[in-house]
Amino acid sequence: MPNVFPFRALTYTTGSDQSHFVAPPYDVLDAAGKERLLKKDARNIVAIDLPHTPAKELGPTSAYEGGQAVA
């Protein structure tokens, strides 16, 4: 049986502003939105989560109209 030990979690400083690191879901971002987020901070999550052409620009336009989920 392996020994399992807890590790100390990494956390942000309480009260610090993290808004420049977050992004909306990748499938609703277009290239212009991605660039705006990266101009605010190059360490934004889109640099990791969306390293290629955004899905919104690849998929059918109808999938993003009207706010209805496509099954």
Q: What is the pLDDT of residues 4-18, one digit of tens each?
A: 999 988 877 777 788
Distant-in-sequence, close-in-space partners of 32: CB < 8 Å, separation ≥ 6: none
The distance from CA 13 to its chain's CA centroid, rounded to whole angstroms, is 21
Predicted TM-score (pTM) of the model is 0.57
Q: What angle do CA 22, 9, 26 make, to 5 degrees?
A: 20
What integer best gives the mean pLDDT of the chain?
79
Q: How many helices (H) and strands (E) does the chain have?
A: 3, 0
Cβ atoms of residues 52 and 59 within 8 Å: no
Residue 37 confidence (pLDDT) above 80: yes
